[in-house]
Structure 1
Amino acid sequence: MSALESPQFGSTVELREVVRDFGGGVGLNGLDLAAQPGELIALLGPSGCGKTTALRALAGLERVDSGSILIDGVDVTDEPTNRRDLGMVFQSYSLFPHLTAVQNVEFGLRMRKTPPAERRRRASEALELVGLDHHADRYAHQLSGGQQQRVALARALVTRPRVLLLDEPLSALDAKVRVQLRDEIRRIQTELGITTFFVTHDQEEALAIADRVAVMRSGDIEQIGAPEELYRRPASPFVAEFVGLTNKVAGHVAGGELTVFGRPVPLVSRAVPDGAVQVYLRPEDVLLASAGIPATVVATSFLGALRRTRLRLDDGTELAVQHAARETPEPGSAVHVELAGTPVTAAPAAPE
Structure 2
Amino acid sequence: MEDNTTQLTGFILLGLTDNAQSQFILFVFFLVVYVITVLGNSLMVITISLSSALHSPMYFFICNLSIVDMCYTTSTVPKLLLDFLSDVKRISFFGCLAQLYSFISFGGIECVLLAAMAGDRYVAICMPLRYTEVMSWKMCMVVAILCWMAGLLNSLAHTVFTFRLPFCKSRSLNHFFCDIPPLLALSCADTTVNEVVVYTAGGSVILGSFLLTIMSYIFIVKAILKIKTASGRQKAFSTCASHLAVVTLYFGTIVFTYIRPASTYSLDHDRVVPVLYGIITPMLNPIIYSFRNKEVHGALIKIFFAQNYPPNSAKNAK
Larger Rg computed on CA atoms: 1
The structure with the greater share of residues assigned to strand is 1
More RCO (CA 8 Å, sep 6+): 2
TM-score w.r.t. length of structure 1: 0.23
The structure with the greater share of residues assigned to helix is 2
